[in-house]
Amino acid sequence: MLYDDYVLDGPVDHQEIEKCIQWLMGNPWIAVFYLINIPGNKDDVETDFAGFELLPQRGDFKLNSAPAVWRRETLMNFVGDHDDPWTWEYFGSHRTYGSAFQFYCAQAKNQGIFPYSHETGGAIYRGKWVEKVVLPKMMKYGLKIDTAKRGVSDWPPAKGKRTLLWKLRFFLRGFRMIGFGAFVFAYRLIRKRLWVRPT
């Protein structure tokens, strides 16, 4: 699975991708190998799949739009009618809780499989082209992209907060996706915002 804003910055490691395909074919309980690292996991724990770590049962972003090698039917079963990429990433992981499938991501030291701008999260930020990612590619390859249609974002972006109305709509989309499970994610977000590290 590859979204169009993950613009390549270098050669793809085809051997690593082939290994992921073979692992999926030989292990029907594995749902996905994400080709990037998802922070917050213990990447020093050894697994049967060199260079990859197992995501926790109730971890965040078990479903996400990062470049990945998916078991196609499993991915389709985790996608619903009311999803969009943003709510799917934030609320969708709830659908995996209790699932027998395992989810793997690349260890931090193994993130060169599909090289792209990790710093910016790709070539698009909040719906706009990230100038430092897209403009060099346009010049290098002679691409004629009308950046006015989507708009251009500086990086790092100006710290603009989401409006309360946007947050309410986002939560309602999550509620339509997973029902009362959306409150679990709202609680986690509030807890993260209010938690103060001890000095």
Q: Is residue 1 part of a domain?
A: yes
Name which of 40-54, 85-99, 127-141, 172-186 the model is least confident about. Answer: 40-54
Q: What is the pLDDT of residue 70?
A: 98
Query: For residue range 127-181, what is the model confidence (pLDDT) as tens digits?
Result: 889 999 999 999 999 999 899 999 998 887 776 778 888 888 888 888 988 888 8
| Residue 169 included in any domain | no
Number of domain units in the chain? 2
Q: Is residue 73 part of a domain?
A: yes
First-to-last C-alpha distance (Å) of the chain: 42
pLDDT at 198 over 50: no
- 82, 116, 150: which is the final residue of a domain? 116
- Assess if residue 23 is contained within a domain: yes
pLDDT beyond 50 at 66: yes
Domain C-terminal end among 116, 139, 167: 116
Neighbours of 64 (CB within 10 A): 20
Q: Percentage of the chain surpassing pLDDT 90? A: 43
For residue 188, being part of any structural domain is answered with: no
Sign of the Cα pseudo-torsion (9, 128, 79, 99, in order): positive
Residue 136's domain comprises: 118-158
Please state the pTM of the whole predicted model. Answer: 0.85
* Residues 147, 55 share a domain: no
